[in-house]
Chains A and B, each alone.
Chain A
């Protein structure tokens, strides 16, 4: 994944050295309100549910 990719996710978890949640609300496409967080040096894990096949 290159550094300028924007990924859509249903759910994600961020593990980072620094995470700053901004207080200012943002308006997402589709008219939904949301929040913004900025993070440095870490991982964004796009959540999936896992099942064993065996």
Chain B
């Protein structure tokens, strides 16, 4: 990599030297490219004071021009490319975000539907109470009296009583002769 940079730098300096020679009409020997330190190559202008100053000034301008060219390249080529890449990435991430939001809404809708179903089930559910036997007996006796021909399950569900208590009470009422059972048709 260093060699490549040195090579490019040398080429650049050779181009500057040619330009200096053309514009200052300096002697070829007055402008030399030295190889030392960092950067490894540099231009040294050897000549009389006026020519030397003229050459250095021109060299400064050339270096400045080179920097301006690089800055222009940065603004005209590099930055637009970088921005384009960022904008493309940003738009892509925006699309992903949009898709995720849609998915999230869909999931929210599903959760709401499940919650609604659970609420409906909760509202429709029967809770069996465990009343004292004497209290259950009164309730069942009254229910059978007011609903002749009712099914066992109807007594359980309508009164919301534990099935075991209802069966026990019905047997007792039957034994007492207060109610009678028939097979359902």
Interface residue ranges, A against B (CB under 8 Å): 10-11, 13, 15, 43, 45-54
Contact = CB atoms under 8 A, between A and B. Distances in A.
Interface of B: 128, 141, 144-145, 148-153, 155-156, 163-164, 167, 170, 177-185
Looking at chain A's contact residues, the main secondary structure is strand
A50 B178 contact: no
A11 B151 contact: yes
Nearest to A42: B163
A46 B166 CA distance: 12
B156 A45 contact: yes
Contacts of B141: 52
Closest 10 CB pairs of A and B: A13-B153, A48-B181, A52-B145, A43-B163, A50-B144, A49-B182, A49-B149, A52-B144, A11-B184, A47-B151
A48 B170 CA distance: 10
